[in-house]
Structure 1
Amino acid sequence: MEKVIYALWRREGESREALNERLLAETAPKLLALPNVRGLRFNLRDKDVERANGLCRPVTDPEIDAAIQIWLDVSHDAFRAPVDAILKDAAQDIAAWLVLQSSVIPNTRFPSEEGKRTAGWSQFCFLQQPDHLEYDQWRYNWQVLHTPVAIDTQDNFEYLQNLVIRPLIEGPIRYVAIVEECFPDDAMDDPQAFFDARGDQAKFEANLQAMMDSCARFIDQTRIDVLPTSQYELRKVN
């Protein structure tokens, strides 16, 4: 089984709300009817995450409007073609990447339910490789050095690291990784909640500094897209 992440851009002049409604009402059933689709998750920028708008940091122009995570038996072009066709019909533009997922923190705290919005919210990040780092050093800094810091300093109840293997449909930017981290609702606009330090200013400052120092080892802050999203689990992977 292989995992593919798609980025979608809405049609010209269309609202993001209209895109979201079409994806859930029309696109999801079409994808679920395909025999090759073993798992399906939508990450949508909807009204339920408006409180987190202050955390949104788009770099890609135009901004990415939605992300689709699909688990397929085979991602080769011919096998993936029906999926591509459905998503191209739903959006102005799409891009896609074959990824290797690491489930650093599986969601056991607020388990998702098929067909429903998952509790809390999802921070969806697209990472580029900094120019000053070789690939192996970048990956080491991210997955070996940073991973425990992300676990220890945040109140994230799900943490997926998706290492990009190769682009399947070229987008405007070459990404090397895509990250999904899920947080409780209050972390949308309460930094202490985000950094697992509710009511503890000293712990908040320590966790914030540790996170910033760690991120500086592998992230160019001018080359990362950070998108607050709602997670919709349409089909769980068995």
Structure 2
Amino acid sequence: MEKLICALWAPEGVTRADYAEQLKAALPAALKDAGATAIRLNLRDATVEPAAPLLQTWQQPQQDAVVQFWLPTANAHFRGPIDDILAEHSSRFELWVVAESTIIPNRDHAPQAGSRTWGWSQASFISFRSDMSWDDAVAHWHRHHTRVAIDTQANFEYVQNIIVRALTPNAPDYDAFVEECFTPEAMTNSPAFFDAVGDDEKFARNTKDMADSCAGFIDFSRIDIIPTSQFDFAHLDGK
């Protein structure tokens, strides 16, 4: 089995709100029928508009949605039906195969059968610093930054995905995709995001530690950080 991450761009003239509704209504079932499992949508709908100041943008225009799913193989020879479905539901799609590592599983607010997951999900497409080797960047991310991200944020889900290879020729040159879930308050309240409500000293310490750690391996000129609503469709697998 291989996990795929797909960035989607809305058809011309379709608002993000309408696009989110279209994707929820049709894309998971279509992907499931084509052999995908563990399907998850990350949508830029009205619910996450308050988090717009947290956006960081590289792509112009920036992707409008993300779909995550698993296939028995990402080999292009067998993936044609999946690519056709993604093309049918977007004006553009870009696809990567990744290696998933679940750092914090969502046990406190577990997804419910195609419904919006409580809180919100920060979907982060990141690129490593060009002055570091890939091995050194991953070493910093895994041996140092992971602990910092756990200790300085109020995230109740944290999934790291190292990009193994791009599957589409024009895919942006990201190195990783990260999904983290936070409380609704964390969209607009920075201390809530950094697990420091009512504690100014802790807030200052956590924000500095997180910023310093990110600077240790991320190229901030080549990232797309997108607040999303998470919709999980694992129930389609029949488990």
Same fold, TM-score > 0.5, yes or no: yes
- CA distance in structure 2 between the aligned counterparts of 1:33 and 1:120, rounded to whole angstroms: 29
1:1-238 correspondence runs (5 A): 1-34=1-34, 36-235=35-234
1:100 aligned partner, one-letter code:
A
Query: 8 Å contact 1:43–1:232 — kept in the other structure?
Result: yes
CA shift, 1:129, in A, is 2.2
Moved more, 79-88 or 226-235: 79-88
Could you give the per-residue CA deviations for residues 181-235 of structure 1, whole angstroms, max 9, x where no partner exists? 1001000000000000111111111100110110110112222110000000012
Could you give the per-residue CA deviations for residues 95-153 of structure 1, whole angstroms, max 9, x where no partner exists? 00000000000000101112111000000011112211111111111121100000000
The alignment partner of 1:21 has SS state of helix
Query: 8 Å contact 1:96–1:171 — kept in the other structure?
Result: no
TM-score by length of structure 1 reads 0.96
Query: 8 Å contact 1:160–1:180 — kept in the other structure?
Result: yes
TM-score by length of structure 2 reads 0.96
CA shift, 1:33, in A, is 2.2
- CA distance in structure 1 between the aligned counterparts of 2:211 and 2:117, rounded to whole angstroms: 28
CA shift, 1:13, in A, is 2.2
Query: 8 Å contact 2:47–2:229 — kept in the other structure?
Result: yes
Question: Where does structure 1 differ by over 6 angstroms across 4 or more consecutive aligned residues?
Answer: none
- CA distance in structure 1 between the aligned counterparts of 2:195 and 2:86, rounded to whole angstroms: 37
Coordinate RMSD, CA, aligned: 1.2
- CA distance in structure 1 between the aligned counterparts of 2:226 and 2:62, rounded to whole angstroms: 9
Aligned length: 237
CA shift, 1:92, in A, is 0.3
CA shift, 1:79, in A, is 2.3
Segments of structure 2 that go 5 or more residues without pairing to the other structure are none
Q: Identity over aligned residues, as a percent?
A: 43
CA shift, 1:172, in A, is 4.7
